[in-house]
Structure 1
Amino acid sequence: MNWLTFLPLAIVLALSTALGRRPLPLHPSWSARLLATTGAMTAVAALGTGVFVVINYAATLAPSAAAHVPEWALFGDDSPVPHAVGIAAAVLTAAGLLITGRTVARWIGELRAARAEAGEPLDTDAPIAVAVPGRHGGVLLSRGLLRDLSSAELHAVFQHEASHLRHRHHRYLAAGTLAAALLSPLRPLDDRLRLAVERWADEDAAEATGDRALLARTLAKVALAQPRTPPSTAFAESGVVERVEALLGTPPAKNPVTGPLLFMGNGVVTGSLTAATLQLDHVIASALLSLLAFG
């Protein structure tokens, strides 16, 4: 093997880390798309690189068995994988797969529990509003929220949560959560993704109600009414101060041109790097052969 095997993962990890450090000058909808795509690609690249190295380490330990492994899954130079690298890759890949399985199991459990409670208001005084995705989901509100908010404020909350459902924001959040669980340097990216998703829903709700100030007041009111150890609620968490300030300011540009271009460019780059985690050796070898042939 050679260390170029880890280059695509290193590049996409560096990109994800950079995106998590500074806010993007885009509409929240495009920021969320960029962050979720990059986080998902980084998670796939990390697992893919680990699996690739483990397969080649197994071929190093049992050369005779390598004949039964597809050629694309083996290093192009047929060089052995050092024991230190192979064992570390096996341990980290097994841990990554275990984390992925546990995360998915937790998502399924939380979703089933939320759907089971979606038929009637939550019996709690805490102001809670949750978007429950799926055919049997909907907007789940608490009795405290229904009691404390006016009809106009409840309409603003409903529009916010409806935006989460309409755009399937749970998928964006899942990508960020998994990326952060697998790679701790991506926790800032996950935080920015959560804020972008909430800001996206805020802008949708502000457009639907036609009153940004109302939504800002409602958001602040719900946040201030939370108990000291609040249960999870999408409407009251994730950068409340920043969200209120944004709602009281000028609406962000929708980036009809720059947003799609950046999103597609980012997808091409991260997708190519992720694909290369399995075939970089072959790509480099082919490029060198081509240069020699036409040189």
Structure 2
Amino acid sequence: MSFDVYTPLLLSLLLPLVSPVIGRRVAPALAARVLTSAAVLTAAATTWSLILLVTALVGDAPPVVREAREDGRRLADPVPEVIGVAACVALAVVVWRVQRAVRAERRTRRALRRLCEGQPRDTELVVAASEVPQAFAIPGRPGRILVTSAMLSALAPAERRVLLAHERAHLTHRHGRVVTAATLAAAANPLLGPVRSAVSFLVERWADEQAAAAVGDRVTTARALARAALCAGRARPACALSFTDRAVTRRIAALQTTPPPHLWSAAAAVLVLGAIPALFAADATGDLIRLLWNALT
């Protein structure tokens, strides 16, 4: 098997390097989408490469290869045995990590949905009597916005509108799905952990920009975020899209400047970076198919 099968694993090192730059220079909505898409493509390509290495692990494993060798035909070993064993172990770890991430996601979502049990189906805003200032969006059908009474009392009326617009943006643009996709990609490929962190930050920035546009005032949006961050407690659900989560000081600083531009060229470059590992994985698949075809013929 050619070097192509290893290339997706090497290229997955590049995406975490460019994600901070894209996060700073490209509009949050566009950056979050392209980084997530590239991460999913890269994770799928690296996982498939591991599958190919495991498939080619045992020189005698595919029956057609074994029979071909018994007939005296010379066939090159697709990969060294030690690499195949390492790929087998790595693939088992990937499966375990993805299963754990899926279970954690389901468990957290069930816990969040239970917070809104008993509310009318058409109720978007749920106010919980609590002394802990909290506000977060709960994805689902229907999506809900959960805000504690302490958070509402800490904000001025204009700042409350910012908070609700922020959380509504999470629901409208399905940020929960974006973060989940990036989380599963990072579970499949731990090298993509920084990309997952960047996407989690960018969806908050995305919602900040949507809130600023909705209220028409970036200063009020920054002030609402700062006030909420100062009074917010530390405890919050792990995967909730929280108003005061994800590097608040950086978000406030960003709101005090002009919105980043939509650099489509940079976004396209990131997508290409995500597509290249998939192309190499496809080429490696072709190599394995040709090997089996030669064994058959």
TM-score range normalised by the length of the shorter chain: 0.7 to 0.9
Is 1:263 the equivalent of 2:258? no
Distance 1:279 1:122 in 2: 54
Distance 1:81 1:93 in 2: 16
2:200 maps to 194
1:224 maps to 230
% identical aligned pairs: 31
Is 1:32 the equivalent of 2:32? yes
Asked whether the 8 Å contact 1:49–1:277 carries over to 2, the reply is yes
| Structure 1 pair 235–141 and aligned structure 2 pair: CA distance change class (3 A) | same
The amino acid that maps onto 2:86 is A
Distance 1:3 1:14 in 2: 17
Distance 1:159 1:268 in 2: 33
What is the deviation of 1:186?
Answer: 2.6
The amino acid that maps onto 2:113 is R
Distance 1:284 1:91 in 2: 20
Asked whether the 8 Å contact 2:154–2:231 carries over to 1, the reply is no
Is 1:93 the equivalent of 2:91? yes
What is the deviation of 1:78?
Answer: 5.2
Asked whether the 8 Å contact 2:35–2:271 carries over to 1, the reply is no
The amino acid that maps onto 1:107 is E
What is the deviation of 1:280?
Answer: 3.1
2:167 maps to 161
What is the deviation of 1:189?
Answer: 2.1
What is the deviation of 1:143?
Answer: 2.3
What is the deviation of 1:126?
Answer: 1.8
Asked whether the 8 Å contact 1:153–1:214 carries over to 2, the reply is yes
Distance 1:122 1:83 in 2: 58
Q: Which runs of 5+ in 2 are unaligned?
A: 68-74, 120-125, 291-297
1:148 maps to 154
SS at match of 1:187: helix
SS at match of 1:47: helix
Out of 205-214 and 267-276, give the one that drifted further.
Answer: 267-276
Asked whether the 8 Å contact 2:226–2:248 carries over to 1, the reply is yes
Q: How many residues align?
A: 271
Distance 1:25 1:284 in 2: 41
The amino acid that maps onto 1:26 is V
2:135 maps to 129
Deviation string 1:72-91 (CA, Å, 9 cap, x unpaired) is xxxxx752432211111111
Distance 1:281 1:107 in 2: 32
1:251 maps to 259
Distance 1:283 1:56 in 2: 11
| Structure 1 pair 285–24 and aligned structure 2 pair: CA distance change class (3 A) | farther
Asked whether the 8 Å contact 2:4–2:280 carries over to 1, the reply is no
The amino acid that maps onto 2:252 is V
Equivalent residues in 2 for 1:41-52, closer than 5 Å: 41-52=41-52
What is the deviation of 1:268?
Answer: 4.3
1:4 maps to 4
2:115 maps to 117
Q: Which runs of 5+ in 1 are unaligned?
A: 69-76, 287-295
Is 1:215 the equivalent of 2:221? yes
Larger relative contact order (Cα-Cα within 8 Å, sequence gap ≥ 6): 2
Asked whether the 8 Å contact 2:225–2:252 carries over to 1, the reply is yes
What is the deviation of 1:53?
Answer: 1.0
1:107 maps to 105
Deviation string 1:132-162 (CA, Å, 9 cap, x unpaired) is 1221322111222123223322211110011
Asked whether the 8 Å contact 2:46–2:277 carries over to 1, the reply is no
| Structure 1 pair 102–122 and aligned structure 2 pair: CA distance change class (3 A) | farther
Out of 208-217 and 109-118, give the one that drifted further.
Answer: 109-118
- Segments of 4+ in structure 1 off by > 6 A? 283-286
Q: TM-score, normalised by structure 2?
A: 0.81
